[in-house]
Amino acid sequence: MTCIVRFERVSLTYADATEPVLREVTLSIDEGELCLVVGPTGAGKSSLLGAVNGLVPHFTGGTLAGRVTVAGLDTARHRPRELAEYVGVVGQDPLAGFVTDTVEQELAYGMEQLAVPAATMRKRVEETLDLLGLAELRDRPLHELSGGQQQRVAIGSVLTAHPRVLVLDEPTSALDPTAAEEVLATITRLVHDLGITVLLAEHRLERVVQYADRLVYLGGDGSVTDGPPAELFRHTSVAPPVVELGRLAGWQPLPLSVRDARRAAAGLRDRLAGHQPAAAVPPITEGESLRARRLVVRHGELVAVREVDLALRPGQVSALMGRNGSGKSSLLWALQGAGPRQAGTVSVRGADPKRLPAAEARRLVGLVPQTPTDLLYLDTVAAELAEADRESGRPAGSARTILDRLAAGIAGEQHPRDLSAGQQLSLVLAVQLTAAPDVLLLDEPTRGLDYQAKQALLGILRGLADAGHSVLVATHDVEFVAAAADRVLVLAEGELVADGPASEVVVASPAFAPQTAKILSPLPFLTVPQVAVALAETAETSAAETGTSDAGTAEPFGGRR
């Protein structure tokens, strides 16, 4: 095995930072490896990946000590553009990286820069179109494609240059689950078919962890450890549910796929048999905080929401699920009153938020949009909070109090855009909660959040529900729904097709089921904490059974197009 990417005692310090992001990193990645980079937000995953082709520090600034070599070339002496034929980089938002406007041109762009002869270019474009299943999209404008297609084009556009290393920085974080599956399936296929070296940072670990040859774990203090995933995952702070369950059950070696875990879990299932998960559903209080009747939202010819009846109860966290384009966002915006609504009624405390001035409507229903930063426009967190107090007519400092309860330690003088995605979400939540609405709607809040941030959000929502708010979360994230929601509503083609307790709706279909449920089926456990509670109850800590794991087994990708 030849080593293709080598980090030698690399330390990285950004210009205005006191602490280095990476400290004395020594790492060598062999040709043909799929290397998974994990770590909490802000631990320097993007910096590590950026250093591979020299974007860090050539493009971002900062000081890099030590040596990074790619295919024998030192990034200190070669700029990113000169490494283009060795390293292909794909970012989070595919649309932001497109230079041209049709699929075919985009695939050719990199080769044009590298002065690849026209005949070779033509051949490679055709090959790549087939390899990534983009052939019938070749003439299409890029902005008309779905998110998953766009990301596949982005991958294809760097593949045409025949790089030896592919660097993917959270390629699915801006995508919905279907698109994410599509992209991850493409990546794994590339690894297996082309033997290309891949460095991948990814939130949805559960989807890729089984294919990883090596795990690079960033501890958050600048330290980097690497090794086989099954070993390293024993101690990481970030882990998918299947790993957490394995850790809890003490399985050896740690299973990385649902299939392996299920084979290892026979004993666990026996032990848990007869136990019920702790009743997560609180007693449903009487009364309704929001009532919608025969709600219709149309966008031109398109019916986004079709005569939906809906009631939200205080003290309950409800999840709104459904595929892209099923009308989730339209429903949320119509409930808040800020979005269009062609027919039907919404009533909160006897009033219709749409007919009220915006300031009063948000006292009834608060909405956190898909891009929370759309609501932030001031220079500092303190200014945003003060503005929120003013808008809501609250005494000064109330927004600050709420924010500290949601996420402590956000300094007032920080710029809102410098916060992490989780902190931004907390800030916008605080701004919206300052008006003390009865009902809180959140549109895709888990996009771009890592496991820890999701855990924090979970606690926040639970707390809000306990304080008597009604919470409705539109999301694709099954694991999050399993952990957070009392009730699940499923929307399809603008119609409500399912409405019931989370434990029933989520397990009913395999596609919606969380990993824990798949492993422990038919037991009604949805999350690892539920299992932990049940295990503690049994109070018998028998030795963990060892299950043999078969390497190379693939979990079928249900949602792949």
Partner 1 sequence: MPVRAPGGRRLPRGLHPVAWWLWAGGLAVAASRTSNPVLLALLLAVLGYVVSARRTEAAWARGFKYYLWFALIVVGVRVLFRSVFGTPVTSADHVLFSLPRLPMPSWYAGVQLGGPVSLEATLAAALDGLRLACILCCVGAANSLANPKRALRVLPGALYELGVAVTVSISVAPQLIDSVQRVHRARRLRAGGRSGLRGLRSVAVPVLADALARSLQLAAAMDSRGYGRAGTASRASRRLTAGLLLRGMFGLAAGTYGLLDSSLPGGFGLPVLLAGASLCCGGLLAGNRRLGRTSYRPDPWRAPEWLVSGSGLLAAGGVILAGRLQPEALNPVPLSWPPLPPLAAVAILLAATAGIAAPPPVRLPAANRREPAERRSERAEELAEERPGYAMSDGTAP
| Positions in 353-412 near partner 1 (CB under 8 A) | 357-359, 361-362, 366-367, 369-371, 373-378, 387-388, 391
Residue 256's Cβ-count burial label (10 Å; 0-12, 13-18, 19+) is: buried
The nearest distance, CB 18 to partner 1, in angstroms, is 24
The nearest distance, CB 155 to partner 1, in angstroms, is 12
Residue 304 CA to residue 467 CA, distance in Å, equals: 32
Quick one: how far is CA 537 from the chain centroid?
Answer: 33
Helices and strands (DSSP H and E) totals, the chain: 21, 19
127 binds partner 1 (CB under 8 A): no
- Alpha-helical (H) ranges within 311-417 are 328-336, 358-364, 381-392, 398-406
325 binds partner 1 (CB under 8 A): yes
Residue 78 CA to residue 207 CA, distance in Å, equals: 34
Residues within window 296-315 making contact with partner 1, judged by CB under 8 A: 297, 299-302, 304
Query: What distances in angstroms separate CA 468 from CA 91, 132, 179, 282, 367, one per listed residue?
Result: 41, 49, 36, 12, 17
C-beta of 133 vs 325, nearer to partner 1: 325
Residues within window 240-299 making contact with partner 1, judged by CB under 8 A: 297, 299
527 binds partner 1 (CB under 8 A): no
The residue range among 203-211, 277-285, 318-326, 534-542 that interacts with partner 1, by the rule CB under 8 A, is 318-326
Residues within window 45-74 making contact with partner 1, judged by CB under 8 A: 53, 55, 58-59
Residue 220 CA to residue 38 CA, distance in Å, equals: 10
Under 8 Å between Cβ of 362 and 335:
no
The nearest distance, CB 156 to partner 1, in angstroms, is 12
Count interface residues toward partner 1 (CB under 8 A): 92
189 binds partner 1 (CB under 8 A): no
The nearest distance, CB 428 to partner 1, in angstroms, is 9
C-beta of 310 vs 502, nearer to partner 1: 310
Instruction: List the one residue from 13, 47, 75, 157 that touches partner 1 (CB under 8 A).
Output: 157
Pattern of binders to partner 1 over 426-465, x per CB under 8 A?
-----xx--x------------------------------
Under 8 Å between Cβ of 203 and 173:
yes
113 binds partner 1 (CB under 8 A): yes
C-beta of 262 vs 362, nearer to partner 1: 362
328 binds partner 1 (CB under 8 A): yes
Give DSSP secondary structure letters for 72-115. TEETTTS-GGGGTTTEEEE-S-GGGG--SSBHHHHHHHHHHHTT
Cα end-to-end span (Å), the chain: 34
C-beta of 82 vs 270, nearer to partner 1: 82
80 binds partner 1 (CB under 8 A): yes
Element (DSSP H or E) covering residue 305: strand 302-312
Element (DSSP H or E) covering residue 153: helix 147-159
Strand partners, 525: none
The residue range among 8-16, 36-44, 200-208, 331-339 that interacts with partner 1, by the rule CB under 8 A, is 331-339
Dig out the tokens for 125 from the structure: 């474009």
Instruction: List the one residue from 217, 251, 333, 512 that touches partner 1 (CB under 8 A).
Output: 333
The residue range among 117-125, 182-190, 234-242, 536-544 that interacts with partner 1, by the rule CB under 8 A, is 117-125
Residue 194's Cβ-count burial label (10 Å; 0-12, 13-18, 19+) is: middle
Instruction: List the one residue from 316, 330, 470, 503 that touches partner 1 (CB under 8 A).
Output: 330
